[in-house]
Amino acid sequence: MPLLEKSDLAVTLDHWVINNVLQQMACWQSSHNLIMPISINLSARSLTFSNFNELLKKALSEHSSVNPECLELEILENEALHDLTISSEVMRSCLALGVKFALDDFGTGYSSLSYLRHLPAQTLKIDQSFVRDMLHDEEDAAIVQGVIGLANAFKRDVIAEGVETKEHCQRLLNMGCTTAQGYFIAKPMPVSVFCDWLTHWHKEHRCL
pLDDT digits (tens, 9 = 90+) for 22-70: 999 999 999 989 999 999 999 888 888 878 999 999 999 999 999 999 9
Q: Which residue has the higher pLDDT, 82 or 163?
A: 163
> Would residue 48 count as lying in a domain?
yes
What is d(CA 20, CA 118) in angstroms, rounded to the nearest whole number? 30
pLDDT of residue 72 exceeding 50, the answer is yes
Give the containing element (helix H, strand E) for 39: strand 38-41
pTM of the model: 0.88
Which of 33-37, 83-87, 186-190 is the least confident region? Answer: 83-87
> Would residue 90 count as lying in a domain?
yes
Which pLDDT score is estimated for 111? 55
Which pLDDT score is estimated for 207? 44
Question: pLDDT, tens digit, for every residue of 113-163?
Answer: 777 777 889 999 999 999 999 999 999 999 999 999 999 999 999 999 999
162: left (phi over 0), alpha (psi -120 to 50) or beta: left
Which pLDDT score is estimated for 50? 78
Q: Where are the alpha helices (DSSP H) in the chain?
A: 2-5, 9-32, 44-47, 52-62, 77-80, 84-95, 113-118, 128-132, 138-153, 166-175, 194-204
> Would residue 169 count as lying in a domain?
no
Q: How confident is the model at residue 105 (pLDDT cuts 50, 70, 90)?
A: confident
> Would residue 24 count as lying in a domain?
yes
Average pLDDT over residues 175-202: 90
Which of 71-85, 88-102, 114-128 is the least confident region? Answer: 71-85
Instruction: Please give the tally of structural domains in the chain.
Output: 1
Domain that holds residue 7: 1-75+84-97
Which pLDDT score is estimated for 2? 73
Which pLDDT score is estimated for 71? 97
User: DSSP readout, 131-150?
Assistant: HHTTTT-HHHHHHHHHHHHH
Q: Please say whether the beta carbons of 135 and 167 come within 8 A.
A: yes
> Would residue 124 count as lying in a domain?
no
> Would residue 92 count as lying in a domain?
yes
> Would residue 194 count as lying in a domain?
no
> Would residue 178 count as lying in a domain?
no
